[in-house]
Amino acid sequence: DILVIPQAMGLEVKMVKGKGPVLPQPLKDPEHMKRLKKLKDIDVKKDLGYVMQAITLTRHRLEGKVPIIGFSGAPWTLMAYMVQGEGAKSYYKAKTWLYKYPHKAHELMEMTAVVIIDYLVAQVEAGAQMLEVFDSWAGDLTQEAFAEFSLPYLKKIATKVKAKLRERKMEVVPMTIFARGADWALEELANSDYDVLSLNWTVNPIDARKQVGSKSLQGNLEPAVLFADGPRIRSEAAKMVKSFGTHGYIANLGHGMLPSMKPEALEVFVDEVHKCSESMAKGKKRKEAST
């Protein structure tokens, strides 16, 4: 999961049944940053080698049938967990740092960004063919706080990852950013080195398209639709695809699935996306042929 980064940085992360990820000893104040490893002592290939092994093994097993997507949490989202110690409705402990200890907040996110960059590059070396950065708690910030404490590091990650891949003469893979809840930042995010902007279910596809220019979009079916029956899932999926169009678009949910959702519902969703997009593409060709 995304919390492998705090683990690599020296923090313990436990998965507690019925609660999710928990950091027993979070960073309660800047003094606790002394417990983190020095950047020079962090080796993501060694500390998180099992992730790279899993990527390589999966890539071989899939035999090119589908692409492998690597991912990481974003600095602000990871900091939220590192300071809060667990998931929360409001990450007020982490947000306190932004206003009470702004310099230390920047120091922590800068350090986290450096580790993320190395981690994403290592994933590409291991076989990942696309990368996604998840800023799951971006929408918990004010626009001003996002612009100061999140956006610069998001941009830096995409720029530095691609630069390092070029330096190593590796394929510069496409990169996606998902800043959940920060739909007011679409224009700023489009002005970055990310290739795809992922949207949550609250964003209007037509409005988003106007803001991002030539960038590709991903999303954004309301996940709760998967609790509906097959016909309703197909109806909502088709409506979504038609809203986005088939060019520069990756169909997806607007956020993750819940444990109580049935895989069969997702199968219906994917099937309808294929059928609808293929139908739209054929219709476009017929129209072009008749003109």
pLDDT, residue 44, reads 96
pLDDT tens digits, 248-259: 999 999 999 998
Instruction: Classify residue 93 by burial, with Cβ atoms within 10 Å: 0-12, 13-18, 19+.
Output: middle
For residue 283, name the pLDDT band (cuts at 50, 70, 90).
confident
Q: Which of 229, 219, 223 is nearest to 250 (CA)?
A: 219
pLDDT, residue 1, reads 77
pLDDT, residue 25, reads 96
**Span of 78-82, 85-89, 118-122 with lowest mean pLDDT:** 85-89
pLDDT higher than threshold 90 for residue 87: no
What's the average model confidence in pLDDT over 199-220? 94
Alpha-carbon distance 126 to 70, whole Å? 10
Alpha-carbon distance 219 to 235, whole Å? 16
What's the average model confidence in pLDDT over 125-147? 96
Torsion angle of the four alpha carbons 161, 146, 1, 43, in this order, in degrees rounded to the nearest 10: 40
For residue 290, name the pLDDT band (cuts at 50, 70, 90).
confident
